[in-house]
Amino acid sequence: MVFSESLKKNSDFQNVYKNGKSYANKYLVMYVLENNTNRNRLGISASKKVGNSVVRHRFARLVRESYRLHENIFNSGLDIVVVARKSAAFVGYAEIESALLHLSKLHHIIKVYFYDEEN
């Protein structure tokens, strides 16, 4: 990730859950909170309800890759936590990417020029 880091500490996740804004769709729940830096931090969470460790890790890789490929269109200075829903267990890359971009639009964290081109 060129412009981003990972959220790793439990306290950082809890801060985003408590103080951030959330939107959800069929596959994902996304929490967003400003972090007052010029970098984004991405956290990915999938509980055991989603599946075994192989399934959860695959989900994390798909989210990380879809974020990485679209990283340049995200506003900077954000803590973003993406949480898997049960229905995300066996979907493909295209569905995860679409869900991630959909929630990003709802949060208004995509740069304006990209958002206008899509609509």
pLDDT in tens, 28-37: 999 999 998 8
- Using the CB atoms, write b or e for 82-108: b if 16+ within 10 Å: bbbbeebbeeeeebbbbbbbbbbebbe
pLDDT in tens, 78-110: 999 999 999 999 999 999 999 999 999 999 888
Query: Which of the two residues, 47 and 111, has the higher pLDDT score?
Result: 47
How confident is residue 76, by pLDDT bands cut at 50, 70 and 90? confident
Give the mean model confidence (pLDDT) for residues 49-67.
Answer: 95
Residue-averaged pLDDT of the chain? 89
Q: 4-118 architecture in CATH?
A: 2-Layer Sandwich (3.30)
d(CA 35, CA 53): 30
Residue 109 is predicted with a pLDDT of: 87
pLDDT score of 15 more than 50:
yes
**Closest to 76 in 3D by CA, of 37, 118, 28, 23:** 37
Residue 37 is predicted with a pLDDT of: 86
How confident is residue 1, by pLDDT bands cut at 50, 70 and 90? very low
Residue 65 is predicted with a pLDDT of: 94
